[in-house]
Amino acid sequence: MSCSLLEFCRLQEFKTVRDYLFQNQKTEPVEQKSQTDNELSWDTSDWESAWDNGNSKLEDATSPSAVEGEATDQCGPWLQDCVVSLSPCSDLLVVAREQKAVFLSAKWRTDDGGREEMTLAVSWSGSLSTDEGECVSSSICIPLASQKRSSTGRPDWTCVVVGFTSGYVRFYTENGVLLLAQLLHEDPVLRLKCRTYEIPRHPGVTEQHEELSILYPAALVTIDGFSLFQSLRACRNQVARAAAAGSDVIQPPPLAYKKWALQDMDTIVDHSSVGIMTLSPFDQMKNASILGGFNASVKGSPPAMSQYVTVGGGPYTGFYYAVEGSSQPLLSHVALAVASKLTSALFSAASGWLGWNKNKHEDEAIQKQKPKVEPATPLGIRYGLPDSRRHGESICLSPCNTLAGVTDDFGRVTLLDLARGFAIRMWKGYRDAQLGWLQVPEERGDRELSPSASLPRRHALFLVIYAPRRGILEVWAMQHGPRVGAFTVGKHCRLLYAGYRLMGVNSVTSQGWQLHTQQVCLLDPITGALRTVNIPFHLALSDKKSERAKDMHLLKKLTTILRSRDLEPDVLESEVRSTLLDIKHPAIKKQGLESLLSNKNAPVSCLTNVTCALFSSLKLQDPEEVDPGLLQLCSSQLKLLQLYTNIQQLHTAADTEDGPETLDSLEGVEEELSRVGPTLQRYAQLTSRPSVSFAEDSPDVPLPAHTFLSQMDCTEDGQLKVNRGSESEWSQLGNFIFWGCLCGKSPLRKVCDTLQEAGISPQQLLSLLLSVWFQREKEVLQKPQESVRNLHTLLMILSNMTGAVEESWDPQSISPWWQQVRHTCVQSHNAGAALLAAFVAHRAAKTNITSRADSKLQSEWEAVSLELEQWVVCVRQLEDVLVLQTLLLVPAPSGSPGGAATPCSIKTLLEGGTGGITDSVSKWVFRHNLVPEQLKEILHKKEDKEADEKQDQTTKEEGGEGKEEEKQHEGTDRTAELLAAVCQRFAHSLSPDLLFAHCCWEYVVQWNKDPEEGPYLCRAVEHLKLVSSPHIQLGICTMMWSTFIVKRFSAAAFLIEKVGKAPKDRLCRRDVGMGDKAMTTFLGCCVQLLQILMEADSAVEEVPLPELSVEEAWCGAEGPASIAELALEQKGVHYPLVQHHCLLASLLHAAMTFSVKVKPLSLFDSKGKNAFFRDLTTIQLMPSGDMDPGLVSLRQEFLLRVLTAWVQAIDDSSGLASGTKPPTLPTNGPRADWWPSLCLELGSLLQVNPDILRRHLVCQLYNQALDLQAEEVALEVEDKDVLGSQLLVLTGQRLCYSLLHSQSQTQAAMELLARLPPTLCTWLKAMDPSELRCPLVPLSQTSRLVSRLIEMLPENHGQYSLALHLMEAVDVLATED
């Protein structure tokens, strides 16, 4: 943690800047050295002794001398001839020479490594001078704060202030636009300096005002910061408006300034405006007595004064004090032409700024006329530092305004105390030095360790000196501190120190701001790099605390050593040991030891040896001087490292031990294993499917020592406590300790004895053992017999440890030890491992209880009560979970919806409530997209099997062999058997009605997520149909309707009503949330849902309420009620209201299916409309009595259109004509054969005469040449006369087409036409065969139609004779054909 030079920015095209500024010169500027470096004869003893001091080392910066040597010939010291200024925000750099200037602005770019870096690129270049012969003499960049409330401290814009040799001071924007030009004195501007607001660090510090100070050879002008800020903002706004209006005339507002004529000093070359100060009463009386003599009077309160310090010659440094109020602020009178017309000079300036009374000629006259220059107020020197031969060159004020650094022509740097006027320190050998200051706040960590933590943060002050002749940059601690840093940087750099921040900030606006400003920057013109100096606070501490600084350096060195991966283990150990022992401060030594112990690269031997060496060194010290915390850390970590090494050695040892006593006690477990073997085998196959995992996450990766140490803690009583971190870390530690034992590769008893001696509690060891057991489930299931035996041995050893099972435990109550095992099994998602663990723990608990009962001389049946009963329930539940989990793990077909299966455990199933099991199976059904009928078949098979359920063990063994043979069958059969097995175990929870109800709900939920998936809703309705209980059906229907359906249904109805026809896809998506095809399917499902609801409502009274029960082992379920329970709680529905909605749904479905024009809601009266979309359980006022004839005719017209559209749709289908019917699926579209019967049913409900519908259907079928279907429907027509008349016309059209309009007219047909009776001939010619959709009909069909006609028409009918003539004509045509 030493000083460092950090590059934060790089200049682009810096060579271009040089070429532009020096383009008039043929050769590059070369510095005229009067004497070479070898001839320089300054006294170097002081700085050479400091150079050799051990506390500070010369540190090379990033520009090596070799590079500089090559580039010096090209560049030369050209930057020293330029005026350079950098914004304190480092986002604008100005380089000017003579009349020209270049502005470089900040830009971000991506370097070759992909990192973002800041660069300064040329944003403007040009000439700044307007008067002939004037040159740039000084410049500064002032960032102006943003006035927006959302600002966080970034500047709004930056103003460039430039002073000229003509006396003008001009203000520019970042783009070189002139804002303001002021002539305040007619001498060259020597130096521009700025002071901005700083938050006072202490209550006693005077709050300083912002100001801009301008130094002339014999005058000093200070411009008030607030006035300047407002004027610059107004000018910038005026420029923007002028640019928008196309005018370039800008009249500046007045500036408030003070002008002092500095007296009693021969030459002045630089200055600092220190700010307002107030003398102490003693200093006030001292000054009064010196200046006014014995009789001088003293004011009651000391006056506030502005202090100015100047450097130059005669005297070398001068101190000036201007009492506040002694001089009134002046206003810059620029608008002279306007001022003569108005009484007030201020008002005139403001009016000119606002653009009153302006014209172009007046502007030109004003520009040509030089402004009036106000006379200066004389200000005498108070005192100075006289040195006749020494001439000051520059002065640099510290950020705290109490110190200043002064350079002179003797190559000295002098440190001034401004409050007392003393020179308190001087450095020799710094010719042409450039100065800057750094104020560093105390780090938070250091502050907390400090005894004065409650006081404000301390700040350290450092003076930065750049000596260009020597090419070094030095950092000195103030006021009498040592040199804390030195860098070789090159001889042509510029040290840029602003000494101010943002202008326009005050105590209110600056709260919460983060001011991103650089204090000192070093500009290297060769590399184009901008670097800043980074100094840690601790370097400013006194020698007493420098030991701590040295320790910090050693700690940094230790961190570097630990990071390096190239060192050999022996070298690493020796380096770390020596460094750690060299650290003196206990807190830092502790920090170093913790860094070592948390290092990933250090081997265990290194950790042990270094910690042991440190522990030994602490033991040799005086006990009172040793930090007890560090001593405790060393001893505890040594103990942990020893434990780590011991366990590692036991696992690598080849000797293993057998426990013959466990073989006898595992008989019961072996039986259980053989019973669940087939299911376990199937489960293992499904869990061992390949999956992607990262190598570093593999449980086989050895546990590093640093991870082991981070998870262990030593308590005060010498016991070890394991820190429970993340689940993966916990499993990793368990894996390290116990996996070798579970595999049988490590000595179980020795490992357990080692852990017990270390002092780890048996409860934590049990938790670690179970975590690794569950984590390594796949390996466990590969060798279940061996793994179970080892687990049983470990469990018995752990339960016999002291502190495991309490001595006072009463077997009648539940043991916390075995409850911990049970609790872990209940929570585990690894069903196979959990079941095996339960088998083992059950057996171990039984053995434990039996041994206790024997020791207490109790009878066994009395002791085996509550604890073992809990285990029986747990084992039963885990067997159920294993079968269920095996089913859920069966992979779904590729491309099926629903995602991966969620793992289940006893805990999740109990928390899922009474419907948790059914819900998980319904999700599985959805993922596998099981057809409802297929599910029904499987459930029926399960019921058939239940009849033959009671069989002995031999049958089960045959079933186990059968499992082996099942591998040859298809996967679907195995899945069906698995599902049947699950349903058999959960006979109540997975009863058919409950399963169908949950599947229905799952499908409708999935459909609601994506309404485009119409088949999901159809599946939901199909599942609902299979529910046998009308009570559950009714409840599910009601819940589906109110939760998912009615909102979209009403939106669809209103949309069709608004459009007046089947809406386009875009409108459907916008209003209903699905496409037009999906909406058609949706409306069809609505019809079916409401029909199911009506049927269920009718059957509810006849069927008793079903009883819902749960399996005995799963009675403890707590959680949400199941869907079936919620369904049974639903209220009954109002049947007429459901029928009313079903009617509307049918109309909407027909309209969408056949794209028929209709306004569906307009087919109902006001009562009917008001009843729609109400809650189905409420009683509404329904339409009754005869309907308005107008509405009836609209309904009739709609139904006739539907029938017409249906006939047109089935014409393409040869299925109906050939006598076969299409499948009657709910979404089978417009060709379904149930549309005519539906229309007739709707007609009766809508008060439309069904006979009209039938006659229309017969005519349409004949029109379509579907004569067979027409004859079937015609049998049901009641009014045969009207139908006969309609069919007579249709027959005439067919005959007309074949005789008159057919392309293949025969001579026989023409002759027949001539022989026909005149009345028939005239009637035929009047027919329009274009109305026929299928005019080409076989003559046999027409002959059959005519014979039917004659049967229909009575003999006294007016058209009966016409029908006979037609009969004759058709017969003649038929015989001729």
Distance CA 923, CA 473 (A): 73
Q: Rounded distance, CA 826 to CA 659, Å?
A: 29
The pLDDT assigned to 426 comes to 95
Q: Which residues contact 1280 (CB under 8 A, 6 or more apart)?
A: 1352, 1353
What integer pLDDT is reported at residue 353 of this predicted model?
A: 39
Length of the chain: 1377
- Cβ neighbors of 622 (< 8 A, separation 6 or more) are none
Distances (CA, A) of 535 to 8, 58, 461: 15, 15, 10
| CB 1368 within 8 Å of CB 1375 | no
Short-list 929, 829, 935, CA closest to 885: 829
Positions in the chain short of pLDDT 50: 26-74, 333-363, 365-366, 446-451, 658-664, 859-864, 950-969, 1214-1227
- Give the C-alpha separation, 790 to 741, whole Å: 7
Please count the other Cβ atoms lying within 10 Å of the Cβ belonging to residue 33.
11
| Residue 1140 confidence (pLDDT) | 95
Output the six-digit token pair for 216.
């002339």
Contact 494, 434 (CB under 8 A): yes
Measured from the Cβ of residue 295, the count of other Cβ atoms closer than 10 Å reads: 6
The phi, psi pair for 1103, rounded to 5°, reads: -110, 135
Q: Give the pLDDT confidence score for residue 1148 in this predicted structure.
A: 96
Written as one string, the DSSP assignment of 895-919 is T-SS-SPPP--HHHHHHT-TTHHHH
Classified as helix, coil or strand, 762 is helix
The tokens describing 511, both together, are 């709260």
Q: Cα-flanking dihedrals φ and ψ of residue 27, to 5°?
A: -115, 155
- DSSP string spanning 1078-1131? HHHHHHHHHHHHHHHHHHHHHHGGGSPPPPP---GGGTT--SSPPHHHHHHTSP
Which tokens go with 1260? 């349409």
User: Which pLDDT value is given to residue 1212?
Assistant: 59
Answer whether 28's CB lies under 8 Å from 71's CB.
no
CA distances to 151, 252, 352, 508 from 231, in Å: 21, 8, 13, 21
Q: How much is the pLDDT for 151?
A: 64
- CA neighbor of 917 nearest in space, from 869, 965, 885: 885
Residue in this structure with the two tokens 């605390």, named with its chain if needed: 545
At 518, list the tokens: 């650089």
d(CA 1158, CA 577): 93
Q: Which two tokens stand for residue 368?
A: 């040509």
3-state secondary structure of 356: coil
How many other C-beta atoms lie within 10 A of the C-beta of residue 719?
12
Residue 1223 is predicted with a pLDDT of 37
The one-character DSSP state at 695 is G
For residue 196, what are the CA distances in angstroms to 179, 208, 628, 1318? 21, 8, 51, 119
State whether residue 65 is helix, strand or coil.
helix
Instruction: Quote the CA–CA distance of 690 and 683 in Å, as a whole number.
Output: 14
Token representation of residue 510: 């600056």
Query: In the structure encoding, which two tokens stand for residue 605, read together?
Result: 């031997």
State the chain's maximal CA–CA distance in angstroms.
Answer: 161
1255: CB partners within 8 A, 6+ apart: 1277, 1279, 1282, 1283, 1286
- pLDDT at residue number 495: 95
Q: Are 222 and 372 in contact (CB under 8 A)?
A: no
| DSSP assignment letter at 523 | E
Peptide bond into 479 cis (omega under 30): yes
Token representation of residue 1216: 């109906």
Structure tokens at 1043: 């939760």
Say what the pLDDT of residue 545 is.
52
Instruction: Return the CA Rg of the chain.
Output: 51
Query: Is 0.85 surpassed by the pTM of this model?
Result: no
Phi–psi pair at 130, nearest 5 degrees? -115, -30
The single-letter DSSP state of residue 152 is: -
- CA pseudo-torsion sign 563, 566, 570, 575: negative
d(CA 981, CA 969): 17
